[in-house]
Amino acid sequence: MSKIESVHQETRVFPPAEAFVKQANVSGMAAYQALCDEAGRDFEGFWARLARENLLWSTPFTKTLDESGAPFYKWFHDGELNASYNCLDRHLESQPDKVAIIFEADDGTVTRVTYRELYHRVCQFANGLKSLGIRKGERVLVYMPMSIEAVVAMQSCARIGATHSVVFGGFSAKSLQERIIDAGAVAVICADGQFRGGKEIPLKPAVDEALAMGGCGSIRDVVVYRRSGSPVAMNAPRDKWWQDVVKGQPQDCEPTWVNAEHPLFILYTSGSTGKPKGVQHSTGGYLLHAMLTMNWTFDHKPTDVFWCTADVGWVTGHTYIAYGPLAVGATEIVFEGVPTYPDAGRFWKMIQDHKVSVFYTAPTAIRSLIKAGGDLPKKYDLSSLRILGTVGEPINPEAWMWYYRTVGGSRCPVVDTFWQTETGGHMITPLPGATPLVPGSCTLPLPGIMAAIVDETGHELPNGQGGILVVKRPWPSMIRTIWGDPERFRKSYYPEELGGKLYLAGDGSIRDKDTGYFTIMGRIDDVLNVSGHRMGTMEIESALVANTKLVAEAAVVGRPDDLTGEAVVAFVVLKGPRPTGDAARALAKELRDWVGKEIGPIAKPKEIRFGDNLPKTRSGKIMRRLLRVLARGEEITQDVSTLENPAILEQLKQPL
């Protein structure tokens, strides 16, 4: 593989403040290096120590890692534990009255629950599920709004050893039906509806529609939480109200002890073609990594108020809402609404009101908030913040700088976390009290994570050469298999072309020649080859967004070109109104020249297309596959029914 060239060199470095280093859980680079060295010297011993120190086991494990069935690795396999016990029971003596969850509803209503109250809620609902005949190993589909009850539903499944599969509340009936069939789910836990941005969105009708499509004969029960209060059809005896299921149930529930490898959940990845891909995670290894990353990446302190803005329908909401914060005994925020309702100051007001200290959100949200009011954060008291985090996609340097300066007041480290649904938790990320920060770089792997960059044959490349990101050794929170399809798991993540022993992350990346820092350059198929130069699309996007005067958001794809092999096509959302005619042509020229100046003439987009916004999935990721189709001028065959604004497709067809 010819190397991916990085033509933009980021020179800004922000070392952690001395005062922060002193109090950090991983204090300074020497402490980080000591952990890496321990993992390098005694890989299994390192993970065994951490698993014994962090998790509560009902049966201790004696074997750390079993590689006999590689790539189907097993961790702590002869140990037994329970995820809910590790999140709730462990705090009942030490801090029963500490607030576990601060829930803020779409309309601003705030509800607080303590660890003791959450424990009772989970136990009652777990007993209710048991009374329906739900048993260890059975799968339960969860289709809930962001709420305390969503966390209760997940924790209750974990408590009785049932495997949950959460489906994001914005997915369609068809998506639900596919996932029910694939998982062989025996029950659905849902709500009548949810509130987002002042609007009521029904949920139960989608469940009815999914079950009516056929093939869902495995479903015995549907439990409905009353959230919106709107009338819904209840199909007796299948459908039951949540309050009836918990009525009269005891407030304690003995946890079901499960093997460390027992599937805690299946989470279907969005955006893949064909049959949904059920990523299966274990109980022990997954929970360990959720705890470690709370302590390492977010430097968890007992006084923190932690807020991850993700939805529980995504892996981020699993690891950093439903499990990680509770396992370390944190106080966390669960938010039902959207960042722009009732206005674009909602996030900043909530940080001020709840004195949030650790804030974790997506670059897409950051960029949209810059567009909605770049100076708005200054109107709020954000002095409680001490750490900022980003997740979901690489963050471009200019958005990083705005986040660091305007939101964090240039005093909060920004942890730019690289990980995936499949990895279970953070893989490459700065540690806030150790790692000097570079905007746009996720910096260094966590201790015990053996990341590397290889060429197309699996050979490791030297620093400074871009290639394919892989992980050389298994780690406890990794995907175990694709539910019901082990062969697809092997082909997708341990391909023979790389030797069958390397985990393929599917991203292009480069390591800095001097520091070894990783920069993610977009998915492998988002690497462009223009006139023999390989460039990551992320780099050109970052250059466009760096024009903070004009550009709010940009996405770059390639299309075949007779002259250069591949041409750069940029889809741009401006901060001002969308131009047409001569004004559009003049702006397109200005932006081309800008990219030429930022990166070099080779990176200049051949085409620039303006739209009011970009097409995104329901989780906020840009639909790059669709953009590639538009760039090539092909007919759109993928489902675009979920687009908020279908009119943009016509706008984005117009090249300049």
Report the b/e string of 552-567 with b at 16+ CB within 10 A: bbbbbbbbeeeebebb
Q: What percent of the chain has pLDDT over 70?
A: 97
Mean of the pLDDT values across residues 293-301? 98
Q: Are strands 277-281 and 481-482 parallel, antiparallel or unpaired?
A: antiparallel
Beta bridge partners of 359: 307, 388
Average pLDDT, integer, range 143-158: 98
Instruction: Say if residues 162 and 139 touch (Cβ distance below 8 Å).
Output: yes
pLDDT in tens, 556-595: 999 988 777 789 999 999 999 999 999 999 999 999 999 8
Burial 145-174 (b: 16+ CB within 10 A, else e): bbbbbbbbbbbbbbbbbbbbbbbbbbbbbe
Q: Averaged over 473-488, what is the pLDDT?
A: 97
| Contacts of residue 206, Cβ cutoff 8 Å, sequence gap at least 6 | 143, 171, 172, 173, 176
Q: What is the distance between the alpha carbons of residues 6 and 302, in angstroms, rounded to a whole number?
A: 41
Q: Are 138 and 163 in contact (CB under 8 A)?
A: yes
Other beta carbons less than 10 A from residue 342's beta carbon: 13
Q: Nearest CA to 336 among 449, 469, 194?
A: 194
Mean pLDDT of 304-315: 96
Q: Report d(CA 370, CA 621) in Å as an integer.
A: 17
Please report the pLDDT score of residue 142 as a whole number.
98
pLDDT higher than threshold 80 for residue 532? no
String of DSSP letters for 137-189? T-EEEEE--SSHHHHHHHHHHHHHTPEEEE--TTS-HHHHHHHHHHHT-SEEE
Question: Per-residue confidence at 8, pLDDT binned at 50, 70, 90?
Answer: low
**Alpha carbon 234 to chain centroid distance?**
34
Closest CA relative to residue 391, chosen from 341, 335, 430, 437: 430
Residue 343 CB-density burial (10 A; 0-12 exposed, 13-18 middle, 19+ buried): exposed
User: What would you report as the CA-atom Rg of the chain, rounded to the nearest whole angstrom?
Assistant: 24
When mean pLDDT is compared over 11-15, 71-75, 487-491, the highest value belongs to: 71-75
Position 269: which residue type? T
Q: Classify 305 as helix, strand or coil.
A: strand
Helix (H), strand (E) at residue 51:
helix 43-54
The distance of Cα 480 from the centroid of its chain, to the nearest Å, equals: 18
The predicted-structure confidence for 492-522, as pLDDT tens digits, reads as follows 999 999 999 999 998 999 999 999 999 998 7
Helix locations, 564-634, DSSP H: 581-598, 624-632
Count of residues making up the chain: 656
Task: Report the alpha-carbon distance of residue 616 to residue 3 in Å, rounded.
Answer: 30
Q: Binning pLDDT at 50, 70 and 90, where does residue 523 land?
A: confident
Across 187-259, the runs of DSSP E, i.e. the strands, are: 187-191, 193-196, 199-202, 221-225, 239-241, 258-259
Per-residue pLDDT reduced to its tens digit, 111-136: 999 999 999 999 999 999 999 999 99
Residue 244 in tokens: 């009836």
Output the pLDDT for position 566. Answer: 85
Rounded alpha-carbon distances, angstroms, from residue 340 to 474, 595, 622: 40, 30, 19
Per-residue model confidence as pLDDT tens digits over 192-251: 999 999 999 999 999 999 999 999 999 999 999 999 999 999 999 999 999 999 999 999
- Residue 102's SS3 state is strand
Band the pLDDT of 273: cuts 50, 70, 90: very low
Please list the residues that pair with 40 across neighbouring strands.
none
H helix count then E strand count, the chain: 20, 30
pLDDT attached to residue 272: 35
- In what order do the strands lie in the sheet containing 481-482? 239-241, 221-225, 187-191, 139-143, 163-166, 265-269, 277-281, 481-482
Query: How far is residue 607's CA from residue 556's CA, in Å, rounded to a whole number?
Result: 10
Mean of all residue pLDDT scores within the chain: 93
Backbone φ and ψ for 327, nearest 5 degrees, come out as -65, -35
* pLDDT at res. 280: 98
- Mean pLDDT confidence for 23-38: 98
DSSP 395-422: PPHHHHHHIIIIITTTTS-EEE-B--GG
In which residue are the tokens 């020497």 written? 30
Q: How confident is the model at residue 6 (pLDDT cuts 50, 70, 90)?
A: low
Looking at the predicted structure, is the pLDDT value of residue 270 above 60?
Answer: no
Bigger pLDDT: 393 or 346? Answer: 346
pLDDT band at 596 (very low <50, low <70, confident <90, very high): confident
Q: Could you count the other beta carbons within 10 Å of the beta carbon of residue 520?
A: 22
Is 2's pLDDT higher than 50?
no
- Cβ neighbour number for residue 339 with a 10 Å cutoff: 21
Give the DSSP letter of residue 443.
B
First to last CA, the chain: 32
Beta strands in 197-323 (DSSP E): 199-202, 221-225, 239-241, 258-259, 265-269, 277-281, 305-308
> How open is the CA angle 196-345-620, to the nearest 5 degrees?
50
Asked if residue 271 has pLDDT above 50, the reply is no
Angle between helices 537-545 and 581-598 (to 10 degrees): 110
Residue 183 CA: distances (Å) to CA of 179, 226, 494: 6, 25, 23
Q: What is the reported pLDDT for 1? A: 41
Distances (CA, A) of 642 to 191, 310, 634: 21, 19, 20
**Which pLDDT score is estimated for 539?**
79
In the block, tokens 């069958």 appear at 500
Candidate from 49-63, 402-416, 560-574 with smallest mean pLDDT? 560-574
Q: Please name the helix (run of DSSP H) or strand (run of DSSP E) that holds residue 81, with its range, or none.
A: strand 80-81
* Structure confidence by residue, pLDDT tens digits, 177-208: 989 999 999 999 999 999 999 999 999 999 99
